[in-house]
């Protein structure tokens, strides 16, 4: 709780997501319309020159559960990464994951769909965290219920391999597994570059 109060970028990212979710609900209620055509990522949108969708889709969510899952993940990983990287490099990691995940999902499947959600960015944070602190012992909640003790590197591999296998075997096809995979790959590459360039800071507080 102490760390989140000193993580302005994390709070801003969460605040934008919450504000857009509420805006979508109000817009639908009062105008019987949706923000999806303007802000969700789609092939049609990009073809029409709506390039902001490459990032705006990451702040729009399909339902309350979708929002909560992503915000919880950002809540637990974001402040630590913001401390390790500083606000600017942390924001680049988040947006890089959103961009890579969005592009892979949009062009990696047939047809055009409206892609929303911060899942690509969240997977970049999870895999980035595992890349920076691979030996750190953490407790992960499998299916958000079962606590399992593991190293951060194991969680990173689970995100990557799980996303790939779910996509290959068509499990839960309504979920953007390629967005997760693309975000995870971006998180690894970006944080690997951060490590070799000496950008990562030492932690100033206990985990």
Q: Is the pLDDT of residue 147 over 90?
A: no
pLDDT in tens, 50-70: 999 999 999 999 999 999 999
Provide mean pLDDT across the span 181-203.
Answer: 96
Average pLDDT for the chain = 93
**For the chain, where are the alpha helices, taking DSSP H only?**
8-31, 36-39, 43-47, 53-56, 64-85, 87-108, 119-132, 152-168, 177-196
Provide mean pLDDT across the span 63-88.
Answer: 95
Angle (nearest 5°) at CA 94 between 192 and 59: 160
Q: Is the pLDDT of residue 143 over 60?
A: no
Return the minimum-mean-pLDDT range out of 90-94, 110-114, 141-145.
141-145
Q: Is the pLDDT of residue 144 over 70?
A: no
Provide mean pLDDT across the span 78-90.
Answer: 96
Provide mean pLDDT across the span 102-128.
Answer: 95
**What is the pLDDT, as a whole number, of residue 176?**
95
The domain 4-196 is placed in CATH, from the list 1.20.1540.10, 1.10.760.10, 2.60.40.10, 3.40.228.10, at 1.20.1540.10
Q: Percent of the chain scored above 70 by pLDDT? A: 95
pLDDT in tens, 12-24: 999 999 999 999 9
pTM for this structure?
Answer: 0.94
Closest C-alpha to 89, from 187, 205, 204: 187
Provide mean pLDDT across the span 140-161.
Answer: 83
Q: Is the pLDDT of residue 203 over 90?
A: no
Angle (nearest 5°) at CA 18 between 17 and 23: 100
Provide mean pLDDT across the span 126-155.
Answer: 85
Closest C-alpha to 121, from 159, 153, 152: 159
Angle (nearest 5°) at CA 18 between 13 and 20: 95
């Amino acid at each position: 709780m102490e760390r989140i109060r000193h993580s302005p970028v994390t709070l801003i990212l969460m605040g934008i997501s919450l504000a857009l979710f509420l805006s979508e609900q109000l817009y639908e209620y009062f105008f019987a319309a949706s923000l999806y055509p303007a802000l969700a990522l789609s092939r049609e949108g990009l073809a029409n020159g709506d390039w902001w969708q490459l990032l705006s889709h990451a702040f729009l969510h399909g339902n309350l559960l979708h929002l909560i899952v992503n915000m919880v993940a950002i809540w637990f990983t974001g402040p630590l990464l913001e401390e390790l990287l500083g606000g600017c490099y942390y924001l680049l990691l988040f947006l890089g994951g959103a961009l890579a995940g969005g592009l892979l999902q949009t062009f990696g499947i047939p047809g055009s769909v409206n892609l929303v959600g911060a899942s690509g960015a969240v997977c970049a944070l999870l895999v980035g965290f595992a890349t920076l602190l691979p030996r750190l012992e953490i407790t992960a909640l499998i299916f958000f219920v079962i606590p399992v003790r593991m190293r951060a590197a194991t969680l990173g591999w689970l995100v990557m391999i799980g996303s790939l296998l779910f996509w290959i075997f068509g499990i839960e096809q309504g979920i953007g597994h390629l967005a997760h995979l693309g975000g995870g790959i971006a998180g690894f590459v970006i944080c690997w570059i951060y490590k070799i360039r000496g950008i990562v800071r030492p932690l100033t507080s206990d985990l």
